[in-house]
Amino acid sequence: MKSRHCSTALAVFGLTIMLAGRAEALCAYFETGPPCQAYWRAQAVFVGTVKKVSYSDIYKRGEGDSHWNYRRRITRFSVETAYKGVKGKVVEVVTEEQMWAPDVPADGEQGTPTLIHPPPTDCDYRFDEGETYFVYANSGAQKDGTLNVSMNRTGKLEDAAADLKFVNELPRAAPTARIFGRIMRSDQSVNLDDQKRLPLAGIKVTARSGKRTFEALTDAGGKYELKDLPPGSYQVTPAYPPHLSTDDDSGLARVVARGCAQFDFDTHSSVRLKGRVIDAEGRPLLGVRVGLINAEGAEIPREGLYNWTGGEGDYVLTGIPAGRFLLFFDLQSAPNTRVPHPPRAYYPGVWSAAQATVITVAEGDNPPAYDLQLLPPPDRAVEIVVTWPDGRPVGDAWLKLEDPDYNWDGFMTSVKKVDGQEGRYQGTGYDGITYWAHAQVNIEGGQMHAEPVKFTLREGAGPIKLVITSPGGYCPHYRRK
């Protein structure tokens, strides 16, 4: 199976292996897969016990950027069983720690080095003295007899039951090959936390090599297997129904006798939404984030089903599942937006979710283009009156109007005092938008605030009355209303 792997640098001590193991996901690209695939891709396979872990005398300082430092960590293995490509009973594994700690001593005895995220030369794989490992290795780039190990199946022997089973059965295996994998459906989601991966049954998978063709169907778990294949190269292609699409519709598998190749495929809904975003003069707007939210009123997610407009103001959203959505245009993200407006618009050109048109998506739909021309809404002012509980006016309050659609972006519109009228203020917002009105005051030893009032800014709205009653400078519970 194609995945991500670490590249490694090399050093020599007898037979030296540059090893980067299975660190958690911050590594660069790695290759992984079943034993029948890993064994034939590796040029050296062995089981070894760690006898000693130490640091080399070579401690490089200031390579490239003067802030970076490196030191080599050496793990000496006693080879218990050599299955392939290893001669001798001692193997040294050299990894290179990449640190941000210029004054850390090379011997590692004093102080604690500050390791950054796993670098491509190490992936921060740690071997423990006394532990036994199953190791897959390959020839180094220098062609000098050294080896390296990218992110692969290398791990502790206690976790290598499948690896041991394969190598022990290898002499009795038939001289044929197999290709297998899994096909999953992964539609886009308006919230990444809700994204689901579902297995697809009944998908035909074809493997072609020259004029030879082999076929299999996925089972209820989305799994397929092509067995008893002659060794060679195969183009592996799933046949998806019309309502599904993919960005990776085939793969090239090279299999040897007694070997295998694992190819997993992801597919998603074929539904696409597209359109353009232009300003009041018809000029395209570049860099506008366009996305979908659930029509039932879910908060606009920071991550999920969205994309950005290109140079012509065009956008495309792909992999859209069936559902009811609102189409939003996040204008804050646009570097060259040229019209005054709230930070977000909704299709067909309104400024609040309550006014937006619901877009219903069904499986296999081919929706029309959803274009948006930004025509800014008119400003509208509203009177706000701030008092103490006994009715006395508050002449030095701090007020703000917050659009609840953008609660993570702060408070969006302006408020100012009305000249000559104690406790009276004028708030300016956009016509038709719903706001929370807030007020707080500084008092001796702290602050107090009014319970916020929610209202829609339209003709006839106001005056909005805010009464300073509560301790503290904010109201943490008001959005539950």
Tracing tokens 């030296």 back to the chain, one arrives at: 16
pLDDT digit string, tens, across residues 190-209: 766 667 789 999 999 999 99
pLDDT digit string, tens, across residues 314-363: 999 988 888 899 998 887 655 555 445 667 788 998 877 888 899 999 98
Quote the pLDDT of residue 153. Answer: 86
Res. 234: pLDDT tops 90 = yes
**Which has more confidence, 39 or 151?**
39
Q: How far, in Å, are 42, 343, 344, 400 from residue 412 at the CA level?
A: 59, 9, 11, 8
Q: How far, in Å, are 26, 98, 475 from residue 115 at the CA level?
A: 13, 6, 42
408: which DSSP letter? Answer: G
> 273-373: same fold as 174-269?
yes
Q: Domain 16-171 is of which CATH architecture?
A: Beta Barrel (2.40)
pLDDT digit string, tens, across residues 292-307: 888 876 566 556 688 9
Locate the domains of the chain by residue range. Answer: 16-171, 174-269, 273-373, 379-480
Question: Does the global pTM surpass 0.85?
Answer: no
CATH topology of domain 174-269: Immunoglobulin-like (2.60.40)
Going by DSSP bridges, is the β-strand pair 359-361/323-330 parallel, antiparallel, or unpaired? antiparallel
Q: Which residues pair with 448 in a beta bridge?
A: 441, 471
| Cα–Cα distance for residue pair 453/436, rounded to 1 Å | 6
Q: Which of 216, 193, 337, 319 is nearest to 279 (CA)?
A: 337
Res. 251: pLDDT tops 70 = yes
Element (H, E) at 72: strand 69-84
DSSP-assigned states of every residue in 17-63: EEE-----S-SS-B----HHHHHHH-SEEEEEEEEEEEE-S---B-S
Residue 444 makes CB contacts below 8 A (sequence gap 6+) with: none
Coil vs helix vs strand at 346: strand
Quote the pLDDT of residue 335. Answer: 52
Quote the pLDDT of residue 321. Answer: 87
**Which has more confidence, 445 or 441?**
441
Q: How many Cβ atoms are within 10 Å of 139's Cβ, its own excluded?
A: 16
Tracing tokens 């082999």 back to the chain, one arrives at: 214
Q: What is the mean pLDDT of residues 424-445?
A: 88
E-only strand ranges, 143-250: 147-149, 155-156, 177-185, 198-199, 204-209, 212-217, 223-229, 232-239, 244-245
Q: What is the mean pLDDT of residues 81-104?
A: 71
Domain 273-373 belongs in CATH node 2.60.40.1120: yes
Domain 379-480 belongs in CATH node 2.60.40.1120: yes
Confidence of residue 434 (pLDDT cuts 50, 70, 90): confident
Residue 386 one-letter amino acid? V
